[in-house]
Amino acid sequence: MKILRIFILIAIAVAISVTSFWMGQQSYSWFPSQATTAAKLVDDLFCFLVTLSSFIFFGVIGALLYSIVFSRANRLDTTDGPAIEGNTTVEIVWTVIPVVLIIWIAAYSYDVYRQMGILSPMQVVHLHHPLETEPAYAAGMNEKPDSAEEIGVVAKQWAWSFHYPGRDVTSTELHLPVDRRIRLLMQSEDVIHGFFVPDFRLKQDIIPKRTINFEFTPIRVGKYRLNDSQFSGTYFAAMQADVYVESADVYNQWLDQAANREPVPASNQAASEHIEQPDKLIQSGWKVHPPAPPPVVNHPS
Amino acid sequence: MDVLITSDELTPTAIDAQAINEKGNGMFGMSVFLLSESIVFLSFFATYIMLRTSTPDWYPAGVSGLELLKPTINTVILVSSSGVIYLAERALDRNQIMKFRVLLLTTALMGTYFLYGQAVEWSSLTFGLTTGSFGSTFYLLTGFHGLHVFTGLLLQLMVLIRSLTPDHATPESHFGFSATSLFWHFVDIIWIILFALVYLWR
Amino acid sequence: MTGISTRDMSSFDEAQNKKSQPDWRTYFSFSTNHKVIGIQYLVLSFIFFVFGGLLAMVIRGELITPESDLVDRSLFNGLFTMHGTVMIFLWTIPALVGLANYLVPLMIGARDMAFPLLNAIAFWLIPVTGILMLSGFLLPSGTAQAGWWSYPPVSLQNPTGHFINGEFIWLLGVVVSGVSSIMGAVNIVTTILRMRAPGMTPFRTPIFVWTVLSAQLLQLYCLPALTAAGILLLFDLSFGTAFVNPSTGGDPIIYQHLFWFYSHPAVYVMALPVFGIFSEIIPAFARKPLFGYKGVAISSISIAALGTLVWAHHMFTSGTPDWMRMMFMFSTMCVAIPTGIKVFAWTATVWNGKLRLETPMLFALGAVVMFVFAGITGVMLASVPIDIHVSNTYFVVGHFHYVIFCTVTMGIFAGIYFWFPKMTGRMYSESWGKLHFWLTFIAANLTFFPMHLVGLQGMVRRISSYDPQYTGWNIVASLGGFLLGVSTIPFILNMVASWTVGKQAPANPWRATGLEWTTSSPPPPENFETIPVVTSTPYGYGKSEPLTVSET
Ligand code: HEA
Ligand code: HEA
Ligand code: CUA
Ligand SMILES: [Cu+2]
């Protein structure tokens, strides 16, 4: 009987390890595509966390289930279990193991975060001077200065617009050259918004009266979706934009084309919904904050 | 199991001791509460410091700083009133009721003078509540503190009136007064920090 | 403890029950008895839970399709704002204060709370809060619509221009509820620290009392920051000051710091007493002493202390500098250590025990299982690179419903079942209880698990319309959500029916230890005829030590 139990316990331990490892490998498939260098780092970190977490989770749950199955009281049995009040060794062990795990997780996370280098150092220094616009010269940690492509991002209720200072082009689509360091200078005209592209694994709030320098390197050509990630009022859900990562040639071609077009006010979903409410089952009739005037752009989507 | 109970803890005296203990609950609760209340002030102070260090032009146009003389006199009066209320407490402990009443009244008058000085200062200022973060924090901090001073005055008045009726101010039982006195010291300490932050910090 | 079992198992007569059971009208009166107030809190907050849950049903109804087609966008925003606020400020926090009110004096051998009058006032401020907040539905401006965080500057936009608008009364509600909580906390802390029966040394105090103390200390020393934040926002909204409004020169990030300085600890205010409930129920149904009692007691206080140093993990993607992100990442992860000690202690208590899976135990074990999951997703969120991707997505919504619903709410259910016989003098129906558990357990996982998956894919929270690729899991979540709504029905029926016509309960139906079980069910108004003198730890299962002097 005793041997049987030990055998069961070992079998459970092996099963848990195998499952945890398998879960970790599965975790890659839960994400959208990896379109930046950061995405790869984040996914590897997540795989590690899932493996470790699964082990902890199934370990604890396994022990609980084991007791539930094997330590049930007989219906008529009113006696008590063994009066074990604690065991110092065991308690020390289960304090030390989490300490070690936490240090491991924190160190790995720190390392990944450092490699991502998403906030340029200037942003950090000037954080407490919101009224100053910062010179954007410092580059990301692993990049030579000045190699980054600078793009202005303006968020307002409820529209995005992107400004390419070199060509003086404004657009409601974000076009990015692939395999180049990008530096976004992000500003908001009204409330807090958030820049979030799931395939990039990147997110940053845009605080009014500040310029936020945000850096990353796209590595995969494709079309992605930019979401507003910080709740910004009534039409928050509709505040999205398309993001195109393209080869240098296509990118420059697009810039050339856009530069030749006359700026026009872009249409956007919030504005059209505000004028004509779609049919709903329940209308509250609550007065809402009107959308800001649409951005004037060379390239409306 | 270690049996920590000694035999005299089991006698009825132990239980009586607990009943007497309950008398201290009021003051204990009051201290716990004041510590909690100080977090509100702490939050406001933190806000003030963060705004002040991050705003490029702290003083609005036409304001070069706060006048110091009158507020300093005011501060001296408020802080010394803490001493006066302490003397009142001593008088009460020695059952000198008349002296106690006079000293308590003095405290209240000093507090009133403080509020009056504050009102004079407010009315002479050229900026208002909405004059940028400077105006907003100034009026919020002094106003919120003033509200506490006012509450303290009301408490003192209540204690004073109750001390006129028998059995309400005895050396043994004066929870109302002790609480008022503690509150007054609290209001004082807050003012000292506030004064340093708002007036002295240049 | 076997000594008391036979004596207390004998059911006692109806007349006795009638005597100590207060007239139902008392529950609608301004009573200062802690037991009446405790039940008032529990019943009222449960009504708010049903209301908050119905709002969630509309949210899930809207989200079953990708388009915004059930309610208009402003109403949707009002719905999740009110859902979050009602659930936190009017359900979990007051429900746990209610349990604490009922149980703490009984568990520490006191006749009542330290300040009975203050207690009653604190309770009656809860309906005031509720009325204030919910009256937003009747205003032309509608309710507050800026989420329960109410971040400026969105929360400062006031399209109707009225002085009295949804945001305004919402803020008043938050401030009033804060006043009520502070009153409650002063009372509970004083009671626990000063009114324990003779012999009840710190390490003879039940874990539930330890956790309540830790939670209420957090209320005392963190909640004022929320009150301050509320006042600043109210001034900016109503008088045009420049505290947190960037357009007048204020700084919105200050609001975020103040808000989370309270609202992170608030999650431990909700979680800690529930850990206490687990620590009472699990030993009783495993028939073993709580493993590592001292460690569990100390870890409660440590969680509270550490919990005040982690708030900026809600602000990793705001304008937070790198050093702050790293510092708060580390402090946040540290909370896993004392929490882990608790989880392991419960597991070790169950190990080799004599388990009995009655409803309270089912809820407790189910909740612990889901808490481990939730805690682990919490640690993932604490990792800055991961959080940057999943912050403000449904991954976070999934994480916190696993704690706040699957752990806290289910833990409260466990506690209600466990102490129901004590509170009402009647037994609840075991089979309905089990039905409630299984429906809730299954439905909760159906509802909240898929949220993690869509969150990882990038579905943002607080949206009334979403990209079609997320539809599948949202349908599962919505159907699960409706089932979760239905799962509450057996609970309501069980409670109402058992309270009115249930079987008489003995003083100690679970043969549990602890002072509350030495009183009759329900306890007499004064709790104890003579104040007990405590002589041992509260978890004497399997031992033959007397708990109090009178038992020797
Ligand atoms: C009762 C409520 C409760 C509890 C207990 C917790 C517990 C934790 N939470 Fe959670 N959280 C919320 C309620 C709660 N949370 C809410 C409501 C929000 C969102 C609010 C909003 O945005 O609206 C939130 C959001 C939230 C965020 C912000 C996400 C974002 O918005 O971007 C983060 C980030 O760090 C976080 C982390 C944690 C951590 C690390 C814990 C830890 O305390 C968990 C510790 C527990 C364990 C880890 C499990 C047991 C331990 C072991 C078995 C030991 C071994 C384990 C390891 C070594 C890993 N939570
Ligand atoms: C204790 C806290 C608590 C609890 C218990 C719950 C319970 C539930 N929550 Fe809640 N939730 C929050 C706290 C809580 N929530 C918070 C803080 C937020 C964030 C708000 C913000 O972003 O600002 C949030 C946000 C939130 C969202 C995200 C909204 C968004 O970001 O757009 C969703 C979406 O599904 C959701 C769903 C649910 C569901 C289905 C339940 C269910 O568990 C509810 C089940 C209960 C009932 C249904 C009531 C009882 C039912 C009956 C009496 C029978 C009648 C039944 C039918 C009609 C079917 N919640
Ligand atoms: Cu747009 Cu937030
Ligand atoms: Cu938190």
Answer yes or no: is A139 within a domain: no
Chain A residues with CB under 8 Å of B1 CB are: none
Q: Tokens 């599948």 map to which residue?
A: C472
Residues A100, A163, single domain; the answer is: no
At A168-208, the pLDDT tens digits run 889 999 999 999 999 999 999 999 999 999 999 999 999 99
Residues A105, A196, single domain; the answer is: no
DSSP secondary structure code for residue C552 in this structure: -
Give the torsion sign (CA, C540, C541, C542, C547): positive
Answer yes or no: is A110 within a domain: yes
At A254-264, the pLDDT tens digits run 999 888 888 88
DSSP secondary structure code for residue C468 in this structure: G
Q: Is the CB of C272 under 6 A from ligand 1?
A: no
Q: Which amino acid is at A133?
A: T
Q: Is the CB of C387 under 6 A from ligand 1?
A: yes
Residues A235, A186, single domain; the answer is: yes
Helices C336-350 and A37-70: crossing angle in degrees, nearest 10, is: 20
Residues A63, A111, single domain; the answer is: yes
Q: Which atom of ligand 3 is nearest to the CA of A232?
A: 2
Q: Give the C-alpha separation, C542 to C354, whole Å.
A: 11
Residues A151, A219, single domain; the answer is: yes
Spell out a b/e string for C114-134, using b for 16 or more CB atoms within 10 Å of the CB, else e.
bbeebbbbbbebbeebbebbb
Q: Do A192 and C154 touch (CB under 8 A)?
A: yes
User: Which of B25, B30, B127 should we substitute to test contact with C (largest number of C Cβ atoms within 10 Å)?
Assistant: B25
Q: Tokens 């882990």 map to which residue?
A: C340
- Residue A140 DSSP SS3: coil
Give the torsion sign (CA, A270, A276, A278, A280): positive
Of C404, C427, C410, C291, nearest to C347 by C-alpha is C291
Residues C70 and C13 sit within 8 Å (Cβ to Cβ): no
Q: Do B133 and C242 touch (CB under 8 A)?
A: yes
Residues C27 and C36 sit within 8 Å (Cβ to Cβ): yes
Answer yes or no: is A77 within a domain: no
Does pLDDT of C50 surpass 90? Answer: yes
Range of B87-91, B182-186, C7-11 with top mean pLDDT: B182-186
DSSP secondary structure code for residue C521 in this structure: S
Backbone angles phi, psi at A195, to 5 degrees: -90, 120
Residues A94, A172, single domain; the answer is: no
Strand partners, A264: A297
Of C452, C403, C473, C418, nearest to C87 by C-alpha is C403
Residues A54, A187, single domain; the answer is: no
- The chain C residue lying nearest A91, using CA atoms, is C292
- pLDDT-derived band at B163, boundaries 50, 70, 90: confident
Answer yes or no: is A280 within a domain: no
The whole-number average pLDDT for the span A218-238 is 94
Of C112, C127, C51, nearest to C87 by C-alpha is C51
Strand partners, A42: none
Q: Give the C-alpha separation, C255 to C226, whole Å.
A: 9
Q: Do A203 and C2 touch (CB under 8 A)?
A: no
- The chain B residue lying nearest C219, using CA atoms, is B36
At B128-148, the pLDDT tens digits run 888 889 999 999 999 999 999
Of B21, B34, B61, B23, nearest to B188 by C-alpha is B34
Answer yes or no: is A22 within a domain: yes
Lowest mean pLDDT among B91-95, C375-379, C415-419: B91-95
Give the ligand with the smallest distance to the CA of C479: 2
Concatenating the DSSP letter of every residue in C308-339 gives: TT-GGGG-TTSS--HHHHHHHHHHHHHTHHHH
Residues C245 and C235 sit within 8 Å (Cβ to Cβ): no
Helices C73-85 and C116-134: crossing angle in degrees, nearest 10, is: 170
Answer yes or no: is A58 within a domain: yes
Q: Which atom of ligand 3 is nearest to the CA of A158?
A: 1
Of C85, C293, C421, B106, nearest to A83 by C-alpha is C293
At B16-70, the pLDDT tens digits run 445 545 678 889 999 999 999 999 999 999 999 999 998 888 888 878 888 888 9
- Of C87, C90, C314, C446, best ligand 2 pocket probe by most atoms within 8 Å of the beta carbon: C87
Q: Which amino acid is at C239?
A: F
The helix or strand, by DSSP H or E, that contains position A203, with its residue range, turns out to be strand A202-206
Two structure tokens written together for C411: 């833990």
Say what the pLDDT of residue A264 is: 86
Chain A residues with CB under 8 Å of C467 CB are: 225
Does pLDDT of C111 surpass 80? Answer: yes
Q: Which domain holds residue C287?
A: 2-551
Residues B49 and B152 sit within 8 Å (Cβ to Cβ): no
Touching subunits for chain C (3+ Cβ pairs under 8 A): A, B
Classify C143 in phi/psi space as left (phi over 0), alpha (psi -120 to 50) or beta.
beta
The helix or strand, by DSSP H or E, that contains position A98, with its residue range, turns out to be helix A88-116
CA distance A98 to chain C (A): 6
DSSP secondary structure code for residue C391 in this structure: T
Give the ligand with the smallest distance to the CA of C413: 2
- pLDDT-derived band at C552, boundaries 50, 70, 90: very low
Q: Is the CB of A228 under 6 A from ligand 3?
A: yes
Answer yes or no: is A129 within a domain: no
Strands A240-246 and A169-171: unpaired
Query: Which protein residue's CA is at the shortest distance from atom 3 of ligand 1?
Result: C267
Q: Is the CB of C422 under 6 A from ligand 1?
A: no
Spell out a b/e string for B72-87, using b for 16 or more CB atoms within 10 Å of the CB, else e.
eebbebbbebbebbeb
Percent share of chain C, pLDDT over 70:
95
**Considering its fold, how many domains does chain A have in total?**
2
At C462-497, the pLDDT tens digits run 999 999 999 999 999 999 999 999 999 999 999 999
- Residue A224 DSSP SS3: strand
- pLDDT-derived band at A139, boundaries 50, 70, 90: very low
Say what the pLDDT of residue C193 is: 94
Peptide bond into C522 cis (omega under 30): yes
For chains B and C, count residue pairs whose Cβ atoms are closer than 8 Å.
129
Q: What is the CATH number of the domain that holds C344?
A: 1.20.210.10
Q: Is the CB of C259 under 6 A from ligand 2?
A: no
**Considering its fold, how many domains does chain C have in total?**
1
The whole-number average pLDDT for the span A13-37 is 93
Give the ligand with the smallest distance to the CA of C306: 1
Q: Give the C-alpha separation, A235 to A288, whole Å.
A: 9
The whole-number average pLDDT for the span A119-148 is 46
Two structure tokens written together for C300: 């409660």
Distance C375 CA to ligand 1 centre (A): 5
Distance C436 CA to ligand 3 centre (A): 40
Residues A169, A224, single domain; the answer is: yes
Does pLDDT of C426 surpass 80? Answer: yes
Answer yes or no: is A183 within a domain: yes
- Of C392, C397, C403, C405, best ligand 1 pocket probe by most atoms within 8 Å of the beta carbon: C403
Q: Which domain holds residue A110?
A: 2-72+90-115
Strand partners, A222: A245
Residues A236, A150, single domain; the answer is: yes
- Residue B202 DSSP SS3: coil
Two structure tokens written together for C274: 């529930």
Residues C135 and B49 sit within 8 Å (Cβ to Cβ): no
The whole-number average pLDDT for the span A10-34 is 93
Residues A107, A168, single domain; the answer is: no
Lowest mean pLDDT among A235-244, B187-196, C54-63, C535-544: C535-544
Strands A182-188 and A149-156: parallel
At C304-337, the pLDDT tens digits run 999 999 999 999 998 788 899 999 999 999 999 9
The helix or strand, by DSSP H or E, that contains position C433, with its residue range, turns out to be helix C430-457
- Record the pTM: 0.93
Say what the pLDDT of residue A28 is: 93
Of C60, C48, C55, nearest to C480 by C-alpha is C60
Give the torsion sign (CA, C171, C175, C180, C185): positive
Residues A111, A168, single domain; the answer is: no
Two structure tokens written together for A109: 């996370």
Query: Which protein residue's CA is at the shortest distance from atom 2 of ligand 3?
Result: A193
Q: Is the CB of C264 under 6 A from ligand 2?
A: no
- Residue A188 DSSP SS3: strand
Q: Is the CB of A155 under 6 A from ligand 3?
A: yes
Q: How many CA atoms lie within 13 A of C57 on its CB side?
A: 13
- Of C86, C268, C397, best ligand 2 pocket probe by most atoms within 8 Å of the beta carbon: C397
What are the C-alpha distances in Å from A192 to residues A209, C161, C252, C399, C461? 10, 21, 9, 24, 15
At B55-86, the pLDDT tens digits run 888 888 878 888 888 999 999 999 999 999 99
User: Which ranges constitute the DSSP H helices of B125-168?
Assistant: 132-163
Classify C447 in phi/psi space as left (phi over 0), alpha (psi -120 to 50) or beta.
alpha
Q: How far is CA C190 from the centre of its chain?
A: 21
Residues A177, A242, single domain; the answer is: yes
Q: Do B135 and C242 touch (CB under 8 A)?
A: yes
Say what the pLDDT of residue C10 is: 40
CA distance C114 to chain B (A): 7
Q: Do A192 and C151 touch (CB under 8 A)?
A: yes
- pLDDT-derived band at A6, boundaries 50, 70, 90: confident
Residues C230 and C174 sit within 8 Å (Cβ to Cβ): yes
